[in-house]
Structure 1
């Protein structure tokens, strides 16, 4: 199924071409065509097991497609050209392409033995090659942005869940990614902490040029930040549109049934 995740005259930033992913006998993504354009915010909705998170894990190269091709910024994610032909990409090539992509997971995945600021600076120093001073300056700016400027010297275990997720968001942004992937980033939080993290992400969407691909069951958040919403079911996109259309007047009965269950 062909899906364009926003209308734009610019060249796409993310492209899935006929991507299929299987786990055993189960087809999780079924011949998926999918585009995301620069500086757009795209939200994937649908029931659990419909393939949404698999898209993010493929983009992070945590999984490989069984069929099809994925490109980010015009570069193939799993293949590179050698001698005029495409061959499976080496790890060095994959790491280079992946620099453009940041991801915030359901779990915070912070390094517990490192202070907050060190959590933000390790990858920029060792992956991007920034000096320690430059990385720390950037890290402190990001901690201020997420409201944790006074917690640079704390350890993750000294923070609340909401604060740890804010650090995880800042850590992803510290790599200056072109694409920020968000995988149910509030699902592990206590209910009273959810609103603060969602407000932070709304601010990032409004004030930065980062492209976002978001998987969430927070429908109000999806409606607020999205340029385009995609409804997934059984490994396929069954409906695509502006959030006002998807949430206000969906065309597909399956979309209507899903939204009536979650809203």
Structure 2
């Protein structure tokens, strides 16, 4: 981790009178694996949505790869102005996300779902994109499902396709938003095993929101406990999970275990 991947500098996000993130300072190093935990509504998913440009900051600045992300150079405070859509579209190409729901194209095969974005967004040749897609589908254990339609797959298989699709975009940063919450309990393990492999075998920066504490322990360099839009505790995975210092962290962990 010789450089920062993501930095939130006094970032606040409000929806009307409701403050979801409250002056957040957060730095994630390149190649670091950070898990965000905390109750619903504490701001965790908002962090991911800001990085996917699904939301805009109210105050503060987000940097990605050492460069302004939420803002761009201009005649504003600190020489920055809010980023244009074109600027954002260019910057977010290095960020991938796997959502709670798979959002696969039902009319396309599994292979076509993985190939579509690299061809149209990254402008890869279709043959090159298909070759990489097959390799990624093999990595997530779906080499024999390349011609299947998503509707013929289990929920766990569909989420593994979604992981392959995100990796096909060659992200430097991968965001994981409660990726097992929509799955039946018996399907959770197969998805988490794939993500453990991603954490072990790649140098992608991971920013993960999950209630799966065993997974968080396995993959995280650091865990952050959120409550009411603020970080209440931060520490190495084993230390925070085994000996939390803050009463709010202890209460949350007791509730989810």
User: Normalised by the size of structure 2, how large is the TM-score?
Assistant: 0.97
Task: Please give the per-residue CA displacement for 1:186-234, whole angstroms capped at 9, x wherever unaligned.
Answer: 0000110001111111111001111100000001110111000000000
Structure 2 residues not aligned, in runs of 5+: none
Where 1:63 maps in the other structure, the secondary structure is coil
Shift in Å at residue 93 of structure 1? 1.5
Aligned to 1:3: none
Cross-structure match for 2:10: 18
**Cα distance, 1:26 vs structure 2:** 1.0
Q: Does 1:78 align with 2:62?
A: no
Q: CA deviation at 1:83?
A: 7.3
CA RMSD of aligned residues (A): 1.2
SS in 1 for 2:40: coil
Q: Could you tell me which residue of structure 2 aligns to residue 148 of structure 1?
A: 142
Distance in 2 separating the partners of 1:78 and 1:221: 30
Distance 2:14 2:84 in 1: 23
What is the aligned partner in structure 1 of residue 128 from structure 2?
Answer: 134
Q: Does 1:211 align with 2:205?
A: yes
1:12-32: per-residue Cα shift (whole Å, max 9, x none)?
110000000011111100000
CA contact (8 A) 2:75 2:81 kept: no
Secondary structure of 2:8 counterpart? strand
Structure 1 residue 146: Cα displacement = 0.3
* C-alpha distance in 2 between matches for 1:197 and 1:121: 20
- Cα distance between partner residues in 1 of 2:85 and 2:59: 19
Segment drifting more, 181-190 vs 114-123: 114-123
After the TM superposition, which parts of structure 1 deviate over 3 Å for at least 4 consecutive aligned residues? 82-85
TM-score (norm 1): 0.94
Shift, 1:89, TM fit: 2.0
The 8 Å contact of residues 75 and 97 in structure 1, kept in 2 or not, is answered as: no
Residue pairs, 1:37-116, within 5 angstroms = 37-82=29-74, 85-116=79-110
Gaps of 5+ in 1: 1-7
Task: Name the residue aligned to 1:255.
Answer: 249
Instruction: Identify the residue that residue 229 of structure 1 maps to in structure 2.
Output: 223
Pick which of 167-176 and 89-98 moved more.
89-98
| Structure 2 CA distance for aligned equivalents of residues 53 and 46 of structure 1 | 10
Q: Tell me if 1:173 matches 2:142.
A: no
C-alpha distance in 1 between matches for 2:115 and 2:105: 12
Residue 79 of structure 1 deviates from its aligned partner by 1.8
SS in 1 for 2:132: helix
Does the 8 Å contact 1:46/1:232 carry over to 2? yes
